């Protein structure tokens, strides 16, 4: 007999009014919205800020196609999870064998190690604004994250992180208060511009890589499976995916606009959190750096709690090792070993004196962008297999958008490498 629900009723009733509404909001929060919010992590904030500060409005046109591709790809992940009931790593292993899986997992592990470094760099950079040394903040955060998950209290804390994500509203308000030239913004949003120099290509791959990160597809599919969403209930999840992706897109748009309107005309290059924080000055005035520090810290810690855990989980899932926080160390040594190693490695690198924090935040996103097409290829091969997906294989438009993304990302990567030398 399940008394969980009953017991909840025994506890003091939740306050009425605003808190009741908040509770309802969280009850309907789905994997799509959570994934989208984790997506705007330290790497994301840094990449969008620098894109706006260094290139003005010239990356705005990218937002609409990237968000469109994000919707298509996240919907694919959700659909695969709902139809097969398996995670992406499982599917790759069962259909393409141990060898392919091993190298995909190795690439994912390295990329996500980079992402974890970016999160701890975000922690270090944000708290430096308050004058707290990274030698204190990073080890404490790393331990906090490790402890949170191993003690299984993550799910309760997740909601706190999510509420704090309302911080992104600050960018929207600040974007308006900076009084950008809206006709220019509108024109840039719909007229593509392109350049073949290395920094522009680097930034393009970074923006795509941070918005459509490879780990998100694994995370999304596993969340769907874990929530027990199946073919009948997946229609509602499409809305969840759509809303999540659009929310992410709006945040991307306003971070770029706010930075382009404030930092770009002043000629400020983002090299520290204090620089990036100036984008919030129209809203918060002299308190902008505190506001920014709070937002960056929350986003970094949120993603840092999700990334190492999920990475260890997929790698173990794909390679057939036991995984999950409900197992103890003796049952799942590889899982806990990997999980702990990712956190320690991710944190230790940041402790190197004068480590370029903003460089790693953006660079990790570029690596995401380089890996993305390969993960997408596997997703596309799997989702178009009749024996796995039955009548739920991809339609023509979906296939076109995804294959286009694959080809575009490979060409961009080759161009970047080519122009670099």
Interacting residue ranges for another protein, rule: CB under 8 A: 1-7, 9-10, 84-86, 90, 93-94, 97-99, 101-102, 152, 154-155, 222, 225-226, 228, 230, 232, 309-310, 313, 319-320, 322-326, 387
First to last CA, the chain: 66
For the record, the structure tokens of 63 come out as 């937002």
Whole-number minimum distance, CB 109 to another protein, in Å?
15
Whole-number minimum distance, CB 102 to another protein, in Å?
6
For the record, the structure tokens of 27 come out as 């009850």
DSSP code of residue 265: H
Of 98 and 163, the one with the shorter C-beta distance to another protein is: 98
Whole-number minimum distance, CB 230 to another protein, in Å?
7
Of 265 and 333, the one with the shorter C-beta distance to another protein is: 333
Of 7 and 190, the one with the shorter C-beta distance to another protein is: 7
Whole-number minimum distance, CB 7 to another protein, in Å?
6
Q: Are 70 and 219 in contact (CB under 8 A)?
A: no
Of 9 and 396, the one with the shorter C-beta distance to another protein is: 9
CA atoms of 218 and 388, how far apart (whole Å): 17
Whole-number minimum distance, CB 203 to another protein, in Å?
33
CA atoms of 305 and 143, how far apart (whole Å): 11
Of 89 and 276, the one with the shorter C-beta distance to another protein is: 89
CA atoms of 77 and 374, how far apart (whole Å): 15
- Cα–Cα distances (Å) from 116 to 225, 256, 282, 395, in that order, read 24, 23, 31, 35
- Cα–Cα distances (Å) from 408 to 19, 337, 388, in that order, read 45, 37, 27
**Dihedral sign, Cα of residue 68, residue 73, residue 76, residue 77:** negative
Whole-number minimum distance, CB 390 to another protein, in Å?
12
Of 161 and 254, the one with the shorter C-beta distance to another protein is: 161
Q: Are 89 and 315 in contact (CB under 8 A)?
A: yes
Of 145 and 323, the one with the shorter C-beta distance to another protein is: 323
Whole-number minimum distance, CB 253 to another protein, in Å?
32
Block residue for tokens 């139809």: 83
Length of the chain: 421
């Amino acid at each position: 007999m399940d008394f969980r629900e009953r017991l909840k009723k025994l506890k003091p009733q939740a306050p009425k009014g605003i808190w009741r509404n908040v509770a309802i909001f969280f009850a309907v929060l789905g994997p799509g919205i959570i994934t989208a919010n984790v997506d705007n992590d330290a790497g994301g904030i840094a990449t969008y800020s620098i894109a706006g500060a260094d290139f003005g409005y010239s990356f705005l046109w990218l937002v609409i196609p990237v968000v469109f591709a994000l919707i298509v790809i996240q919907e694919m992940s959700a659909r695969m999870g709902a139809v097969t009931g398996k995670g992406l790593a499982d599917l790759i292993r069962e259909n393409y064998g141990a060898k392919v899986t091993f190298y995909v997992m190795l690439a994912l592990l390295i990329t996500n190690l980079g992402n974890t470094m970016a999160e701890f760099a975000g922690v270090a950079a944000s708290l430096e604004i308050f004058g707290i040394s990274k030698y204190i903040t990073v080890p404490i955060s790393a331990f906090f994250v490790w402890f949170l998950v191993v003690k299984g209290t993550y799910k309760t804390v997740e909601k706190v992180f999510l509420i704090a994500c309302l911080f992104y509203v600050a960018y929207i308000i600040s974007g308006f208060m900076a009084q950008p030239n809206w006709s220019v913004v509108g024109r840039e949003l719909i007229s593509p511009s392109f350049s073949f120099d290395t920094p522009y290509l680097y930034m393009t791959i970074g923006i795509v890589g941070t918005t459509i990160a490879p780990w998100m597809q694994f995370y999304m599919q596993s969340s769907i499976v874990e929530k027990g969403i199946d073919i009948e209930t997946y229609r509602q999840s499409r809305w969840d995916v759509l809303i999540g992706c659009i929310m992410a897109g709006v945040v991307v748009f306003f971070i770029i606009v706010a930075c382009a309107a404030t930092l770009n005309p002043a000629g400020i290059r983002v090299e520290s959190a204090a620089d990036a924080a100036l984008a919030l000055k129209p809203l918060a005035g002299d308190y902008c750096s505190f506001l920014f520090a709070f937002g960056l810290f929350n986003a970094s810690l949120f993603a840092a709690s999700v990334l190492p855990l999920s990475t260890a989980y997929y790698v173990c899932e794909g390679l057939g090792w036991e995984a999950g926080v409900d197992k103890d160390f003796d049952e799942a040594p590889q899982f806990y070993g990997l999980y702990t190693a990712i956190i320690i490695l991710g944190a230790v690198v940041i402790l190197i004196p004068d480590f370029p924090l903003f460089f790693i935040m953006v660079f990790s996103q570029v690596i995401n962008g380089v890996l993305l097409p390969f993960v997408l290829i596997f997703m596309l091969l799997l989702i178009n297999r009749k024996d796995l997906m039955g009548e739920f294989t991809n339609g023509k438009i979906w296939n076109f958008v995804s294959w286009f993304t694959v080809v575009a990302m490979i060409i961009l990567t080759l161009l970047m490498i080519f122009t670099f030398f």
